[in-house]
């Protein structure tokens, strides 16, 4: 048996020490507060899916197949495990590697969106999924790369002020919006548009151009209202206050049925009539079984997550990092609060899940990948003192 030369260490010992060193560096550089908050939300999600699983299992059971009450809970745990693996892998990347991975994901998913109208599968009147062994919705994974792609393009201006980055980003957003509305998916179109608006605002775009983009957005909503029947029906239902059989009205009644402290775990009754209790309307299930206090705590946790990301960026000196992290945070926060407002009957139904809490297959993996890339992009050596970021160093976008 071969032995190591005198004064040297076996290869496996050197590998283990190198691996421990890399883990130590990773632990020092990532935002551990964001990681902890994300894990808390995922833990809440596991409990919430267990609460909502019986309602969805009973609704989806058939005469030939009866689903167990915890059917979606066990599936959710499996997807959470896969998602955690994706998140920790992505967070271990360097900032440059995370940028490349994000751009690659955005490019691949844009190609996927082009293919969806051609070879995608249709569910409930919308063609949004590609079946590749498992069903994948490209727009979900696009959320991991879209803010990174936009941030990369906008950061070109810091190197060369003559590059028309605003026009490029606007054309990209227009192309994406056309692909999403071809499915149709108005909810995702609004979410990505909001992310786009936040990022160009942070990039220092003049108010005149921001007003022009806002006007185009309003025109797009008006056009959608007259051309997209499902979207028009949801807006009309929201403005008219809905009815006793409307999904959003059922969600609000379910949420308020728990009072301040809830009916107790698995004691909710109204959730049994609620469609998508484990996904779109899981916030209402939480309200019924754990109370409005629990709902308020969840809202505060999301706010804490967004606040922590923003505080992390205050001392950041890299334009790309500021834009990419802000875009990812605004996208995650926007999806969360749209879902919550829908459950409170304060926003038209959009078919969006509650990120990191709702049940999801590929959507859970996509959201965890997004968080992992956020952690990688905001990695920072804690021993290096940094100057605060200033938009003055970006250049003039008025031309």
Kindly state whether residue 26 falls inside one of the protein's structural domains.
Answer: no
Contact 130, 136 (CB under 8 A): yes
Handedness of CA 124, 227, 355, 24 (dihedral sign): positive
Q: How many structural domains are present in the chain?
A: 1
Q: Residue 316 — φ and ψ, nearest 5°? A: -80, 140
For 26-64, how does the pLDDT look when each residue is reduced to its tens digit (9 = 90+)? Answer: 888 889 999 999 999 999 999 999 999 988 888 877 768
In the predicted structure, residue 103 carries a pLDDT above the cut 60 = yes
- Of 273, 227, 302, give the one whose Cα is nearest residue 52: 273
Contact 294, 286 (CB under 8 A): yes
Structure tokens at 37: 């908050």
d(CA 305, CA 36): 10
Contact 360, 353 (CB under 8 A): yes
Kindly state whether residue 354 falls inside one of the protein's structural domains.
Answer: yes
Average of per-residue pLDDT across 262-268: 84
Kindly state whether residue 16 falls inside one of the protein's structural domains.
Answer: no
Three-class secondary structure of residue 258 per DSSP: coil
For 186-232, how does the pLDDT look when each residue is reduced to its tens digit (9 = 90+)? Answer: 788 888 988 998 888 887 776 666 677 677 767 767 776 666 666 66
d(CA 86, CA 97): 15
pLDDT above 90 covers what percent of the chain?
A: 33
Kindly state whether residue 226 falls inside one of the protein's structural domains.
Answer: yes
- Of 304, 330, 318, 303, give the one whose Cα is nearest residue 390: 318
What are the residue ranges of helices labelled H in 203-268?
Answer: 207-227, 229-240, 247-256
Structure tokens at 207: 């108010």
Kindly state whether residue 35 falls inside one of the protein's structural domains.
Answer: no
Token pair 């990681």 is found at 35
Domain range for residue 104? 42-60+67-393
Kindly state whether residue 13 falls inside one of the protein's structural domains.
Answer: no
Least confident of 122-131, 184-193, 385-394: 385-394
Contact 299, 291 (CB under 8 A): no
d(CA 363, CA 79): 9
d(CA 193, CA 327): 11
Q: What is the pTM of this model?
A: 0.85
176-185, 328-337, 381-390 — which one is most confidently predicted on average? 328-337
Kindly state whether residue 365 falls inside one of the protein's structural domains.
Answer: yes
Structure tokens at 242: 């809905």
330 pLDDT band, cuts 50/70/90, is: very high
Contact 209, 186 (CB under 8 A): no
Average of per-residue pLDDT across 236-245: 55
246 pLDDT band, cuts 50/70/90, is: low
Kindly state whether residue 221 falls inside one of the protein's structural domains.
Answer: yes
Contact 190, 228 (CB under 8 A): no
């Amino acid at each position: 048996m071969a032995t190591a030369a005198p004064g040297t260490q076996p290869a496996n010992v050197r590998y283990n020490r190198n691996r421990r060193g890399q883990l130590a560096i990773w632990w020092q550089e990532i935002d551990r507060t964001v990681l902890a908050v994300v894990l808390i939300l995922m833990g809440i999600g596991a409990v919430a899916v267990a609460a909502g699983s019986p309602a969805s299992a009973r609704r989806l059971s058939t005469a030939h197949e009866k689903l167990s009450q915890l059917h979606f809970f066990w599936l959710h745990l499996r997807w959470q495990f896969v998602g955690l693996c994706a998140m920790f892998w992505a967070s271990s990347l360097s900032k440059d590697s995370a940028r490349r991975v994000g751009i690659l994901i955005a490019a691949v998913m844009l190609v996927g969106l082009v293919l969806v109208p051609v070879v995608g599968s249709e569910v409930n009147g919308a063609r949004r999924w590609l079946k590749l062994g498992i069903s994948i919705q490209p727009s979900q994974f696009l959320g991991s790369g879209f803010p990174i792609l936009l941030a990369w393009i906008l950061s070109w201006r810091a190197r060369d002020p003559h590059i028309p980055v605003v026009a490029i980003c606007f054309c990209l957003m227009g192309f994406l919006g056309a692909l999403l509305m071809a499915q149709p998916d108005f909810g995702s179109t609004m979410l990505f548009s909001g992310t786009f608006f936040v990022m160009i605002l942070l990039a220092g775009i003049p108010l005149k151009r921001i007003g022009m983009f806002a006007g185009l957005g309003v025109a797009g909503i008006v056009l959608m209202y007259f051309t997209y029947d499902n979207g028009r029906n949801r807006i009309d239902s929201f403005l008219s206050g809905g009815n006793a059989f409307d999904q959003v009205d059922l969600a609000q009644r379910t949420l308020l049925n728990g009072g301040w402290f809830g009916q107790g775990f698995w004691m909710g009754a109204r959730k049994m009539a609620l469609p998508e209790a484990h996904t779109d309307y899981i916030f209402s299930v939480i309200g019924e079984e754990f109370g409005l206090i629990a709902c308020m705590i969840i809202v505060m946790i999301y706010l804490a997550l967004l606040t922590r990301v923003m505080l992390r960026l205050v001392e950041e000196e890299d334009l790309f990092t500021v834009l990419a992290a802000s875009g990812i945070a605004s996208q995650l926060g926007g999806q969360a609060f749209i879902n919550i407002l829908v459950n409170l009957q304060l926003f038209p139904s959009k078919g969006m899940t509650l990120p990191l809490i709702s049940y999801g297959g590929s959507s859970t993996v996509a959201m965890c990948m997004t968080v992992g890339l956020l952690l990688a992009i905001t990695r920072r050596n804690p021993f290096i003192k940094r100057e605060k970021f200033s938009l003055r160093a970006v250049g003039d976008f008025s031309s």
